[in-house]
Structure 1
Amino acid sequence: MPEIAYLKYGKGLPLVLLPGFGETKEIWTDFARPLADSYEVWCPDLPGFGESKAPGEGFTLQTVAQSLGQWLLNQNIPNACLLGHSLGGYLVLEMATLSNLSLSAIGLFHSTAFPDTPMKKETRNQTVAFLDKHGVAPFIRSFVPPLFSAENRDSCQQEIQNLISRGILHSKESLIGYTRAMRDRADHMATLREFSKPKLMICGDQDPAVPLDASLKHQEAVTDFNILENCGHMGMFEKQNESQILIKNFLKGLSVNM
């Protein structure tokens, strides 16, 4: 098993798409195609998910970010634009603090720079308890569908089933480890504000995981803020075309300024 497994498409300015919790690199397969017409798109599996080697026991988002940063260096991906979905966005912010990385831009896709609230921390603890008691498959089957807005679940039924099919293959240890790491993550709003390069944010107006009122508090910290209407937490599926256009427009601005 490789340290970091990945898919790669296209040539041009490097764009790295990080998946979220319980997701794998395959979530970007269709999404990356039009982007790869003009850009070099890298889609890694996070350590412990998909085909990437599991991180060490007691890992944190900081140590995962360091592993991903080393992977970028090993692959010779300079001046990358990092875009992360949900947990992937938390890792983007951690990677933005690494002094050995040269990044052209960062982006949060249904993610946040804020740490967990006390209520969210308790939800994470309940997730750990559920996984311990019931295992991976029952958790994934109950976890995935509500990430989509109710009105989009029927049209995204195939995507939901694909996410479940891949998600039930994850180890309980990785799911529990990431749940605890997300619970204990740092506040990175200052990181987001102080990052001097372009910053993209895409959020959903019906996102159950990152409420819109919390997303709106990021507006002053980013250079390109966007809301997907009638969208839950999975804009790469629920609003694929709209999300691709927003990312393309953001990347065009990078190409002009580089």
Structure 2
Amino acid sequence: MRKAINNGNITWIEEGTGAVVVLIHGFSESAGLWHLQTNRLKNHYRVIVPDLPGTLAAPLTQPLSIESMADYVYAILLEEDIKEAVVIGHSMGGYVALALAEKHPALIKGLGLFHSTAKADSEEKKENRSKSINLMQQYGADTFLRQTLPNMFSPATKSKHPELIDACIKMGQECSLSALIAYYEAMKERPDRTAVLQQLKVPVLFVVGKDDNAVPLDNILPQIAMPAVSSVHIFEEVGHMGMWEIPAASNLVLEQFISFCQL
């Protein structure tokens, strides 16, 4: 069921009952990113899936930052009277999850980084984001999405399931140009949050695709030993979109991790 507060400025999907799981989408995505996981997890858990500002019906708020998006998610949890949750973020959603954990550590019962990282952008990555912003401004969002999003999938997925690339582009087209640019600016300016990993006492999940060009394996490996408790899954022939590329395996990983966090 889709819900809203603040005159429709904050929107989310809620499904199921039980211990709370929050699934946060990333750049050029919406709550629909997690539909295969929501359909599975709702049988055992209360699943909250926000639409971040600038996505679908949720208007873009300015200035937008990773921290303001964490505040947005927290407003949903306050509205739902949620005191603790397992919070899992994909890519940019992982950055939001880390900011939420930094601001409200008592809320976090477990943290999942699904193709995401606690490190800040390197100078090279920041420069590439600036170039991408220029590309969007010059040629429009659609050209950028069609050029960029296929690279989020592994070669095997692109070959066997081109329909997933089309669906990913279609989802991205539901975001405005101004929102896409604001997301890139927010990601570019985010701080390093590896200290958050080091301070967390709850379990932390790392999901990594061996063919992920956006958050490569060598970026994640040094972070695995930082939390007190880590769970790590490295998937072969998977890029940056494991929840779509291998949904059954992704669902199993999430179910096992969420169950472990309840102990």
Same fold (TM over 0.5): yes
- Whether the 8 Å contact between 2:115 and 2:209 is mirrored in structure 1 is yes
Partner of 1:251: 258
- The alpha carbon displacement at 1:132 in A equals 0.7
Residue 43 (structure 2) pairs with residue 37 (structure 1): yes
User: Given the alignment, which residue of 233, 236, 243 partners 1:226?
Assistant: 233
Superposition deviation, residue 233 in structure 1:
0.4
User: In 1, Cα distance between the equivalents of 2:143 and 2:248?
Assistant: 31
Aligned to 2:112: 107
TM-score (norm. length: structure 1): 0.94
Contact persistence 2:135–2:144 (CA under 8 A): yes
Letter of the 2:81 counterpart: N
Name the aligned partner's letter for residue 146 of structure 1: N
* Rounded Cα–Cα distance in structure 2 between residues aligned with 1:228 and 1:174: 31
Residues 167-201 of structure 1 deviation map (CA, whole Å, 9 limit, x = unaligned): 11311111111101101110000011101211111
The reply on whether 1:88 has 2:93 as its aligned counterpart is: yes
- 1:28 and 1:219 map into 2 onto residues whose CA distance is 24
Deviation at 1:49? 1.4
What is the CA–CA distance in structure 2 between the aligned matches of 1:55 and 1:48, rounded to whole Å?
7
- Cα deviation for residue 244 of structure 1 reads 1.0
Letter in 1 for 2:116: S
Q: Secondary structure at the match of 2:88?
A: strand
Residue number in structure 1 paired with 2:159? 154
Note the C-alpha offset of 1:128.
0.7
CA distance in 1, matches of 2:85, 2:104: 14
- Give 1:209 shift: 0.2
Whole-angstrom distance in 1 between the partners of 2:221 and 2:182: 29
Aligned length: 255
| Alpha-carbon spacing, 1:227–1:100, altered in 2? closer, same or farther (3 Å) | closer
The whole-number CA distance in structure 2 between the counterparts of 1:53 and 1:168 is 15
Counterparts of 1:1-258 in structure 2 under 5 Å? 2-56=8-62, 58-99=63-104, 102-222=107-227, 223-255=230-262, 257=263
Secondary structure, counterpart of 1:82 in structure 2: strand
Contact map agreement 2:52 2:72 (CA 8 A) in 1: no
Q: Quote the Cα distance in structure 2 between the aligned partners of 1:17 and 1:159.
A: 20
Q: TM-score, normalised by structure 2?
A: 0.93
Aligned-pair Cα RMSD in Å: 1.4
User: Deviation above 6 Å: which 4+ runs of structure 1?
Assistant: none
Residues of 2 paired with 1:166 and 1:11: CA distance? Answer: 27
Deviates more, 1:112-121 or 1:155-164: 155-164
8 Å contact kept, 1:18–1:88? yes
The one-character-per-residue Cα deviations of 1:54-92 (angstroms, maximum 9, x if unpaired) are 111x32111221121122111222211110000000000
Deviations 1:213-249 (A, max 9, x none): 1111111024211111111000001111111111111
5+ residue gaps, structure 2: 1-6
How has the CA–CA distance of structure 1 residues 100 and 85 changed in structure 2, closer, same or farther, with 3 Å as cutoff?
closer
Q: Which amino acid aligns with 2:250?
A: S
The answer for unaligned runs of 5 or more in structure 1 is none
201-210 or 94-103: which moved more?
Answer: 94-103
Contact residue 115 and residue 188 of structure 1 kept, 8 A: yes
Q: Distance in 1 between matches of 2:9 and 2:77?
A: 12
